[in-house]
Amino acid sequence: MTRLLNLAAIAAALIAAFSVFNLKYQAEGVAQEVADLQRKVDQEREAISLLRAEWSVLNQPDRVEELVERHQEALRLDHVEPKQLADPSRIPMRVIAPSDSDRALLTGLTGEPTGALQ
């Protein structure tokens, strides 16, 4: 009986050792995947940073103006007037609600608002 128990214990120990060994390699594989993904993320962030820097250089007003002047005949661009973008008379006025302290100043002796703001 003890021999059978010893064999079962040895088999259980071997199965547990194999399981731990297998789990260790799976964890190492996942850790390697995470490291690879982190490296790719860092590379993408560096590429984005480089592209933003390049974009800011390409959009410098002096450079754009020089390009427009150089290619004026092909582009046939004119100066933009503010009236082309929006008619100032069509822009709605901003309405500002009075605060409690403003309402207190506008309130007369009767407790009624005296000003147009309510």
Does 66 fall in a domain?
A: yes
Residue 82 falls inside a structural domain: yes
Q: Is the dihedral of CA 43, 46, 50, 55 positive or negative?
A: positive
Joined tokens for residue 88? 């100032």
For residue 10, being part of any structural domain is answered with yes
Q: How many domains does the chain have?
A: 1
114 domain residue, yes or no: no
Could you tell me the end-to-end alpha-carbon distance of the chain, in angstroms, rounded to an integer?
96
Q: Does residue 5 surpass a pLDDT of 80?
A: yes
Asked whether the predicted pLDDT for residue 96 surpasses 60, the reply is yes
Q: What is the pLDDT of residues 43-94, one digit of tens each?
A: 999 999 999 999 999 999 999 989 988 988 888 888 778 777 777 788 788 8
pTM for the whole structure: 0.48
pLDDT band at residue 113 using 50, 70 and 90 as cut-offs: low
Domain boundaries, position 61 = 2-100
